[in-house]
Amino acid sequence: NSFVTRTNTCGELRSAHVGQKVTLYGWVQYQRQGLFLVLRDFQGLTQIIIPQDEAHSHVKELLSNAPVESVVRVTGTVSPRPPGQENPKMPTGDIEVKAESAEILNSCKKLPFEIKDFVKKSEALRMQYRYLDLRSFQLQSNLRLRSRMVMRMREYLCNLHGFVDVETPTLFKRTPGGAKEFLVPSREAGKFYSLPQSPQQFKQLLMVGGLDRYFQVARCYRDEGSRPDRQPEFTQIDIEMSFVDQAGIQRLIEGLLQHSWPDERGSIVTPFPSMTYEEALAEYGTDKPDTRFGMKIVDISDVLRGSDIRFVQNALSYPHGSIRAICIPQGVRYLTNKDLESLKESAKSQFNQEIMEIIRRPDGSLKSLLTKFLGEREQSELIQALNMEGDDVVLLAAGEHKQVCSALGTLRLLSANLLEAAGLALRDPMAFHFLWVVDFPLFLPKAENPTELESAHHPFTAPHPSDASLLYSDPTEVRSQHYDLVLNGNEVGGGSIRIHSAEQQRFVLEKVLKEDSEVLSHLLEALGFGAPPHGGIALGLDRLISLIVDAPSIRDVIAFPKSFRGRDLMGNAPDYVTPEELEPYHIQVSWPLEEKEAKKN
């Protein structure tokens, strides 16, 4: 309080302050019948007793009539609450302040919604009046925790490990591959800047420049359109190091998270477990597994290989054919027939994958369309392979390995949601399961044209040392030095060891990805001037914080987020500009016909 005119905050007064004269500033949270009010500031709540005597009648009138959320100054004496009226739920619940003078600094008009965490309000309304929503306890708590974590990260990187905090440019040029970038017009006709989707090139150039260890709390931009729980502008903890390997980056990040982890969220154990991309896909059907619960995908190809089931034999006849299944514990008890049908429909609509179900009755027998094709030995092996108990439900899929695993991975998560909705505790919201996923493929076939390749991570990722020769003969078989950090089934970080050879980088861009290397001529030239081996990682700060505080959306850990359509509902951005304002940028807007008509009217 040394820089302000209050003597104390509304959250710090205790019994030890009884008898002291104090001055508090805050918002009127609640007022009751002209007898008392609760004053709130960033630190907490204090009960203010409104005087009833004639000498203080002006104070009584002023505080009794102050609208909720008005800003007031109150001066008075700290007193103990009468016996039996203490409030153990409030840190200040043993005291109250008897008001002697008061001033309304700013009266509040009628609110669009109540400033209470338990009051339901639409997200659109919350974002339109974000400055009011920020007064809620939950958002205040989230933003303060975020601030503390970032400060500890700076301390760990800069003070303990010699990193240099460098701001990189926001106006740059287009990067090949990756997400779409926002364009910013320049005064040179036809020329545009791009807002970087990450400081990737700059941090590599800083390593060429000999800085050795760089970090930044970086603002990044991606024009991803209407995607739920994504933001067009977001923040990442961006890191790059010279003369480092994958294990070194992983140890650094584990130490960084341990150092910055909030005390109130318990402790995290290091080193984090690790699994390969292939293992993650085979056991969880995704490259970001949620390892807080079981229900792993099980390969039952060998169990059913000798059966006469036609679709099984068809699947196994393909080069990458496989039969896999997940076992839903107590599925009969917790899932309805409608639930099971919705799971099958999801597999069909998203993956074009048929699903068969098998139920184990309480007496141990199996109920399924498949049982008439299976002998007792095969049924017993199936029960053993899937570790089936009574009332468990098995979902079985047959077909191409990656499609089968992806479908079952999605059904695993949907089943977990259904089980929890029905009352089965499966995932502890206070458990934090970190996992490294490694050995990704360096390239993947493009979805729109499978004969062409794209980078699985980005075009600057180095090949796995064991696979380096394959880069020139069979690039589809090359593993990368790319690693992802996963927390509770969400990717919270990704990085790689980079290509530091100009020749190899040029080959990847021109021969493998068929990109125009001229766009990256500055980087290619830099790599030719003695670039050190280097690597790095970026942690998605918004996602990480939202998981730590168990927020329903990343918008709940960002002070001024955009809507899922990328709009600022409070300031109504983006907005129209006049033709005169566009003229210096040599731009004319071509309006769709319906918008032309709307603007006329």
DSSP for 245-296, please give it: -HHHHHHHHHHHHHHHS-GGG----SSPPEEEHHHHHHHHSSSS--TTS---
Residue ranges per structural domain of the chain: 15-106, 140-275+433-556, 293-422
- % of the chain exceeding 90 in pLDDT: 88
Question: What pLDDT was estimated at residue 520?
Answer: 94
Strands 393-400 and 434-438: unpaired
Question: Stretch 90-119: mean pLDDT, rounded?
Answer: 94
Question: What pLDDT was estimated at residue 307?
Answer: 86
Three-state DSSP state, 439: coil
In contact, 493 and 484? CB cutoff 8 Å: yes
In contact, 348 and 436? CB cutoff 8 Å: no
- What are the tens digits of pLDDT across the range 302-331? 999 988 888 989 999 988 999 999 999 999
Question: What pLDDT was estimated at residue 2?
Answer: 80
Write out the two tokens for 248.
């070194």
Helices 541-548 and 137-154, interaxial angle, to 10°?
Answer: 120
Question: What pLDDT was estimated at residue 485?
Answer: 98
Q: Which CATH number fits domain 140-275+433-556: 3.20.20.70, 3.30.930.10, 3.20.20.370, 3.60.60.10?
A: 3.30.930.10
- What are the tens digits of pLDDT across the range 473-486? 999 999 999 999 99
Question: What pLDDT was estimated at residue 528?
Answer: 97
Question: Stretch 544-559: mean pLDDT, rounded?
Answer: 95
Write out the two tokens for 403.
């499609």
Question: What pLDDT was estimated at residue 551?
Answer: 94
- What are the tens digits of pLDDT across the range 380-400? 999 999 999 999 999 999 999
Q: Which residues contact 463 (CB under 8 A, 6 or more apart)?
A: 442, 470, 471, 478, 479, 480, 481
In contact, 491 and 169? CB cutoff 8 Å: no
User: CA-CA distance, 327 to 536, in Å (whole number)?
Assistant: 39
User: CA-CA distance, 222 to 216, in Å (whole number)?
Assistant: 18
Question: What pLDDT was estimated at residue 586?
Answer: 94
Neighbour tally for 576: CB within 10 Å: 7
Write out the two tokens for 527.
């790599």
Mean pLDDT of the chain: 94
User: CA-CA distance, 139 to 133, in Å (whole number)?
Assistant: 7
User: CA-CA distance, 37 to 50, in Å (whole number)?
Assistant: 7
Distances (CA, A) of 255 to 303, 483, 587: 44, 17, 50
- What are the tens digits of pLDDT across the range 346-393? 999 999 999 999 999 999 999 998 888 888 999 999 999 999 999 999
- Determine the length of the chain: 601
Neighbour tally for 566: CB within 10 Å: 18
Class of domain 15-106: mainly beta
- Pick from 394, 389, 391, 431: nearest CA to 412: 394
Write out the two tokens for 352.
């074009």
- What are the tens digits of pLDDT across the range 111-148? 999 988 777 889 899 999 999 999 999 999 999 999 99
User: In the 3-class helix/strand/coil scheme, how is 124-174 assigned residue by residue?
Assistant: HHHHHCHHHHCCCHHHHHHHHHHHHHHHHHHHHHHHHHCCEECCCCCCECC
- What are the tens digits of pLDDT across the range 567-600? 999 999 999 999 999 999 999 998 886 666 666 6
Question: What pLDDT was estimated at residue 125?
Answer: 94
- What are the tens digits of pLDDT across the range 142-183? 999 999 999 999 999 999 999 999 999 999 998 776 678 999
> Of residues 565 and 569, which shows the higher confidence score?
569
- What are the tens digits of pLDDT across the range 271-282? 999 999 999 999
Question: Stretch 14-29: mean pLDDT, rounded?
Answer: 97
Distances (CA, A) of 14 to 38, 95, 521: 15, 6, 65
Q: Which residues of 18-35 are buried (b: 16+ CB within 10 A; e: fewer)?
A: eeeebbbbbbbbebeeee
Q: Does domain 293-422 have CATH number 1.10.10.10?
A: no
In contact, 97 and 13? CB cutoff 8 Å: yes
Q: Which residues of 58-73 are buried (b: 16+ CB within 10 A; e: fewer)?
A: ebbebbeebebbbbbb
Q: Please determine whether the domains at 15-106 and 293-422 fall in the same fold group of CATH.
A: no
> Of residues 121 and 11, which shows the higher confidence score?
11
Question: What pLDDT was estimated at residue 53?
Answer: 94
User: CA-CA distance, 559 to 133, in Å (whole number)?
Assistant: 10
Question: What pLDDT was estimated at residue 154?
Answer: 98
